[in-house]
Structure 1
Amino acid sequence: MFRNRLYKYIGISCMALAYTACQVPVLVGKTENKTVPAGYTSSPDSTNSATVQWRSYFTDPSLVALIDTALKNNQELNITLQEIEVARNEIRARKGEYLPFVGVKGAAGFEKVGRYTSRGASEANIEIKPGKETPDPLPDFLLGAYATWEVDIWHKLHNAKKAAVSRYLATVEGRNFVVTTLIAEIANAYYELLALDNQLEIVKQNIEIQTNALEIVKAQKEATRVTELAVRKFEAEVLNTRSLQYDIQQRITETENRINFLLGRYPQPVARNVQAFNNAMPGAIHAGLPSQLLANRPDIKRAELELAAARLDIQVAKAQFYPSLGISASIGYQAFNPAYLLRTPQSLLYSLAGELVAPLVNKNAIKATYFNANAKQIQAAYHYERTILNAYVEVANQLAKINNLEKSYDLKSKQVEALTQSITISNDLFKSARADYMEVLMTQRDALESKFELIETKKQQMNAMVNIYQALGGGWNQ
């Protein structure tokens, strides 16, 4: 009769557990869109500059040395490496959760119970052997081993480990993204430094030209061919150009220090090759196919791995609705006297138990975790799509910029050539009194500005070559 009731209760419990397992809310997820255009131009080419190693892409030895130093000492990159280590340890932790846990324990103590309690009264009447009563207080010594194991029926723990693996791989791609960004930042700062050096040289040359013109104006004033106003105007122009020289020197100092910061070192002069400003970049860029961005860009691969981890998190959260099976076991020796501790079978104890547990009432916390996991998966899908779109837009922008800057540079070169000739012409006309001093000043000012603009355009060209390499996903694969 009792056995029949026990089987009945067990059957009812199993039915209740099965019912609760079926009460899983339905989610509305999102599938990411990986579709990209066929090409950046009407005639796509699969050749991709992103496959070129950065040592081959950047040919200036001084720049290569700076990048090498940064890859060893940059603090942000080293911080990212520790994030990878944290993610690797997380895998180890998740793996340990679905393996059996075995431990050993030893204990010693004593307990005094009241004589007039049911337990105290029963122990008082027990004799260990004839003529020897139970000790009071009663010592207790224990030595044994125990094990616990949650049977991963629904792959909850295995999926948690897989999610940790995906996040670990995402941190590796995050490190690669930091590398590409770091290389691009150093290269752009390096070319900005070269541009400032060239601008400073032009300013010094212009100061010399203006100083010579000032001497001519002073001589003509002595000859009463011009007034004191012309002399003052030329002096003011020379002083303004000298002031510009110090502004550029300050920018050079700040740019050097920015490079030093990226290299993880304190301010010091940055070695550079000023002559490499005009021929330091590759002559051609091959953008390849937009679909190659999914394999070349570390940020896209990181977003994809984070999306995979988010999907696994949903499976982990879903498994919380199902029954969980836990097994525990222990074996050891326990006695009130160390002399009896290892006596078998009198002091031997062991246990084996299985536990099946499932949520039945008030599952709000589990539902909230489940819905949050789904929302984060949808977020990850949108983030993945946005990362792909952003990558395509970056490449398209840089390709257009390279094309437009090339045309602009050709026109500005002709402008500089024309204005440089105008300086000599205006000086000659001024000497022969066929042009006034304002025409000379304006010509010199226009020539200086045009040379600055030409250098700025060249710097933008070099930055565009750096940025397209980064946008294509180049730099991290060494």
Structure 2
Amino acid sequence: MKAHNICPIITFAVSALGLTSCMFGPDYKRPDTDVPAAFRGAFATDASIADLPWWKVFKNKELQNLLSETYANNHDLRSMIANVEKARQYVTIANAPLFPWANYGANVSKGQNYNSGSIYNSGNMTTNPAAIQAGISWELDLWGKTRRSTEAAVAEYLASEEGQRALMLSLLSQVADGYLSLLQLDEQLSIMKDSVSSYTESYRLFKEQMQGEVGDVLQVSSAEAALSAAKAQIPLLESQIASLENTLSAIAGRVPGKISRSGDLVSIANAVKIPAGIPAQILNRRPDIRQKEQMLRAANARVGVAIANYFPSISLTAAAGTATSDLRNVAYRTRGNGWGITPSVTGPIFQGGTLRASEKAAKADYEAAKNDYEQTVLNALAEVSSTLVSRTKLNEVNIQQDNAVKAYLTSMNAAMDRYKTGLSDYFEVLYAQQNLFPAQVSRSQYRYQYASSLVKLYVALGGGWNMTNQQMMKGK
């Protein structure tokens, strides 16, 4: 009898036994989470910056290239992708018991009064006994244990995909923020070089005046101190730039080296409007929240597995084959054929409290996952609201700092004019310079913080949520 002919027998046996299946354990339901109607710091709107792909938010060409390179070559991301594939394969493994398992076996031996390891009387003849057998075994999932296990495996697989998306957003945040930081350091380096040129001129004039017995030691020493302090900043900034370039190179999966860049902080920060959307949207858009929910779903399914363990396992085993006393006759089946079907039931009686403890542990795991999910939601809402408020306030800070820089520049030009007309000495010019250059550095820092808030907000809202991981990696 061929192995595939056994399947109707199994189906008949299941029907004859009157077995029906069910699933123990609670069906998954998303926890009720209290979310506000609007984010603190923004009006509620259907549109969200998270609806846009990252290349339409960060429109700087060099930054786009760096992000594409990172998604293509980052080793942590490659490792995560491999783990996602592993989780996907575990779904197949968990689901496999739902289907009959087929196997085969064969043996042949040669001997006198001997057959397959047993001594028997064959008239002292030397024979070549052989047997071929095929079988199917099937554990009936009457209590839903396998289906709940599969549900848990699917949830863990989806959680791993969300973990990959979370890593991709984290890489986007690191690379984009690092790129903006490089632009800030470039701007500060330019300010420091300008200040060195200006302080050098001040020091030269004061020194000449002192040599001509017009100036004094206070002016010269003040100019020299300002010049030395400005010079000290240049190698420090250059070191920071090189270190950050090396870090970004490593993230992008390449050897340390220069990072190409262009543009300025203001243009990148204001390249796109930033509607935040509705708070409830982040439940379906932030990968960390979606990951926690899938982990909660898996924990919920394991409760069903733990409950199903109380009940017996029912399985069916069927076998068919042929045997002969001579290998030469196997093909012609001149000896007996055989088949059989065996239902079996195994179940727990006493296991020292293991089953009860397993159920309690599964329920505790669910409660932990539930609280973890709810806390992640609250953290996400707080992160988005804080970023929105910070961006609004940083915009006000930048406006005021621009005014301060303009005022200091006017003051320095006025001091220079007074010096040229003999109404004051050059000490007033030096004083104005010492106010202007730090104000320019502060403005550069505030511009960076404002531009960085765009990155933080896009990531906090689950930017690019409507793209697959492959689409996000591929880019435009």
Which TM-score applies when normalising by structure 2?
0.84
Distance 1:406 1:296 in 2: 27
Equivalent position amino acid for 1:466 in 2: V
* Deviation sequence 1:366-386 (CA, Å, 0-9, x none): 223222221111111111111
Measure, in 2, the Cα distance between the counterparts of 1:172 and 1:362: 37
Question: How much does 1:454 deviate?
Answer: 0.4
Offset at 1:204? 0.8
Query: Corresponding residue for 1:217?
Result: 206
Please give the alpha-carbon distance, in whole angstroms, between the structure 2 residues aligned to 1:236 and 1:248: 19
Matches within 5 A, 1:72-111: 72-109=72-109
Q: 1:313 to 1:421 in 2, by over 3 A?
A: same
Whether 1:188 and 2:184 are equivalent positions in the alignment is no
1:420 aligned residue (363, 386, 409): 409
Do the aligned residues in 2 keep the contact of 1:91 with 1:165 (CA within 8 Å)?
Answer: yes
Match of 1:183, SS?
helix
1:67-466 alignment, distance < 5 Å: 67-109=67-109, 123=120, 126=121, 128=122, 132-133=123-124, 141-273=130-262, 275-281=263-269, 282-335=271-324, 337-339=326-328, 341=330, 344=333, 346-427=335-416, 432=422, 434=424, 437=427, 440-466=429-455
Q: Distance in 2 between matches of 1:52 and 1:328?
A: 56
Range moving further from structure 2, 227-236 or 82-91: 227-236
The amino acid across from 2:268 in the alignment is A
8 Å Cα contact 1:340/1:347 also seen in 2:
no
Q: Structure 1's 341 and 47: CA in aligned 2 closer, same or farther, altered over 3 A? A: closer
SS at match of 1:416: helix
Q: Structure 1 435/110 Cα, relative in aligned 2: closer, same or farther at 3 Å?
A: farther
Where 2:276 maps in the other structure, the secondary structure is coil
State the distance in 1 between where 2:151 and 2:363 align.
Answer: 17
Alpha-carbon distance between aligned partners in 2 of 1:322 and 1:345, rounded to the nearest angstrom:
45
Matched, 1:33 2:32: yes
Q: Write the distance in 1 (CA, Å) between the matches of 2:73 and 2:395.
A: 36
Query: For each residue in 1:330-349, what CA deviation from the matched residue of structure 2 results, as whole angstroms up to 9, or x when unmatched?
Result: 22234554346567574434
Identity, % of aligned positions: 25
Structure 2: which 5+ runs fail to align?
1-23
Which residue in 2 is equivalent to 1:10?
none
Instruction: Name the residue aligned to 2:62.
Output: 62
Please state how far the C-alpha of 1:236 moved relative to its aligned partner.
3.0
State the secondary structure of the residue aligned to 1:143. Answer: strand
Q: Say which one has the larger Rg.
A: 1
- The Cα shift of 1:268 comes to 1.9
TM-superposition CA deviations, 1:29-79 (whole Å, max 9, x none): 997332201112584222211101111111111111111111111112211
| CA–CA separation in structure 1 for the residues paired with 2:35 and 2:111 | 75
Q: AA paired with 2:150?
A: K
Per-residue CA shift, 1:72-122, capped at 9, x if unaligned? 1111221121111011100111121221111111224579999xxxx97xx
Superposition deviation, residue 194 in structure 1: 0.5
Shift of 1:139: 7.3
1:140 positional shift = 5.7
- Contact kept in structure 1, 2:152 and 2:299, CA below 8 Å: yes
Contact 2:71 2:77 in 1 (8 A): yes
The answer (yes or no) to whether the contact 2:323–2:333 under 8 Å persists in 1 is no
Q: Partner of 2:342: helix, strand, or coil? A: strand
Worse overlay, 186-195 or 71-80: 71-80
Other structure's SS at 1:105 match = strand
Question: What is the alpha-carbon distance in structure 2 between the residues aligned to residue 112 and residue 233 of structure 1?
Answer: 114
Q: Deviations over 1:253-292 (max 9, x none)?
A: 111112212211111211111x432211335321111011
- TM-score using structure 1 length: 0.84
**RMSD across aligned C-alpha pairs, in angstroms?**
2.8
Q: Report if the CA contact (8 A) 2:315-2:343 is conserved.
A: yes
Partner secondary structure for residue 278 of structure 1: helix
The runs of 5 or more residues in structure 1 that have no matched partner are 1-23
Q: Distance in 2 between matches of 1:365 and 1:335?
A: 48
Q: Distance in 2 between matches of 1:186 and 1:394?
A: 20
SS where residue 59 of structure 2 aligns? coil
The aligned length equals 437
Q: Which moved more, 1:468-477 or 1:376-385?
A: 468-477
CA contact (8 A) 1:31 1:381 kept: no
Question: SS in structure 2 opposite 1:280?
Answer: helix
Partner of residue 15, structure 1: none
The DSSP-based 3-state class of the residue aligned with 2:345 is: strand
Please tell me the residue identity of whatever aligns with 2:265. F
Q: Distance in 2 between matches of 1:165 and 1:196?
A: 46
**C-alpha distance in 1, partners of 2:39/2:234?**
43
Q: 1:151 Cα deviation (Å)? A: 0.8
CA–CA separation in structure 2 for the residues paired with 1:448 and 1:336: 102
Q: Over residues 133-165 of structure 1, what are the superposed CA-to-partner deviations in whole Å (9 max), with x where a residue is unaligned?
A: 476xx9763321122110111111122112211
The letter for the 2-side match of 1:376 is D
